[in-house]
Amino acid sequence: MAYLELECLLAELVLAAALIWALRRESRLVYAS
């Protein structure tokens, strides 16, 4: 159970990376249109 905190941190890092990826993708699409 002590790993839960580590897992929370990892999940947040993954989600932050996913958000940056999605935002960059969206801005590319806006510029392309």
Partner 1 sequence: MNPLETRYRRILRLLPRAYRQRRGEEMLGVLLDGAAEGQSWPRVSQVASLAALAVRLRVGAPGATRRAVACGEVLRRVALGGLLLQTLVYLTFLALEVLGMVDLLRHGGSLQWIDRGWLLGVAVDGFIALAPAGAFFAALTGRRRTGRVLALIPAAMVTASFAMAPAYTVASDYLALMALAYLSCAATILGFHRDAASVIRDRRWRGAMLGASALLIACMVGGEATLGSIYSAHAGTTALLYRLEHLIYSPLGPALAAGFGLARVRRSSTWPAALLLLGLPWLFTVPRNVVLTLQGKADHMFPDLFASHAWPTSSSSACSPSSSSRRR
Q: Please report, as a single letter, which amino acid is at residue 19.
A: L
Residue 27 tokens, joined? 């801005």
Determine if 11 is a binding residue for partner 1 (CB under 8 A). Answer: yes
In the complex, the smallest distance separating the C-beta of residue 28 from partner 1, rounded to whole angstroms, is 12
In the complex, the smallest distance separating the C-beta of residue 31 from partner 1, rounded to whole angstroms, is 13
Determine if 2 is a binding residue for partner 1 (CB under 8 A). Answer: yes
Torsion of CA 18, 22, 24, 30, to 10 degrees: 180
Which residues make up the interface to partner 1 (CB under 8 A)? 1-5, 7-12, 14-16, 18-19, 21-23, 25-26
